[in-house]
């Protein structure tokens, strides 16, 4: 294995851990804590979004994961042209990549929606205006729809990536 492959694998795996781990932590613990703690949770969420800008970190991790993954697949498949793509491992990595790309798209929608939610929340003084309330509700509905798709496709992608080299069919 050469240094390029080692570097790509390192970036792909560590960025995927940051992206996937962060998404799972947000879905199962942080978002539920924010919802349960009312006003304090909203302030925490605004800090996380507007000050810490977690959505930018998550997007950087997601982009790094996808780019390194594409380069790894390209190298393993000899430029997307070898018989390896039709091997058990190649098919497994391909399925994982497909679910990873779906997770990427829905994660981008999730991150953008959370960023917009944070921006609107920062503009609200005491009570949101009718327009702000409508925007907040629409964003929250979008997040409720895309979040499970993002999480499920990410888990499926992780499972296929972890097991693909061991497939035999």
User: How far is it, in rounded angstroms, from Cα 43 to Cα 46?
Assistant: 5
pLDDT of residue 102: 98
DSSP state of 124: -
Asked if the model's pLDDT at residue 76 lies above 80, the reply is yes
Assign 100 a pLDDT band (cuts: 50, 70, 90): very high
Average pLDDT over residues 127-134: 88
Q: How far is CA 116 from CA 21, 131, 142, in A?
A: 22, 14, 11
Q: Is the model's pLDDT at 155 over the cut of 80?
A: yes
CA distance 114 to 110: 6
The residue extents of the domains of the chain are 3-166
DSSP letters for 53-92:
-HHHHHHHHHHHHHHHHHHHHHHHTTTTTSGGGGSHHHHH
């Amino acid at each position: 294995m050469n240094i390029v492959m080692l570097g790509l694998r390192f970036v792909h795996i560590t960025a995927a851990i940051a992206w996937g781990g962060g998404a799972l932590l947000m879905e199962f613990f942080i978002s539920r804590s924010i919802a349960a703690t009312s006003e304090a949770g909203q302030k925490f969420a605004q800090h996380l979004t507007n000050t810490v800008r977690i959505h930018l970190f998550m997007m950087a991790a997601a982009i790094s994961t996808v780019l390194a993954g594409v380069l790894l697949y390209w190298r393993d498949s000899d430029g997307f042209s070898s018989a390896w793509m039709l091997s058990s491992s190649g098919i497994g990595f391909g399925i994982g990549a497909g679910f990873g790309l779906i997770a990427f798209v829905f994660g981008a929608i999730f991150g953008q929606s959370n960023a917009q939610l944070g921006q609107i929340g920062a503009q609200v003084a005491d009570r949101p205006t009718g327009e702000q309330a409508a925007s907040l509700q629409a964003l929250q509905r979008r997040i409720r729809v895309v979040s499970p798709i993002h999480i499920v496709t990410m888990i499926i992608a992780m499972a296929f990536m972890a097991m693909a080299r061991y497939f035999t069919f």
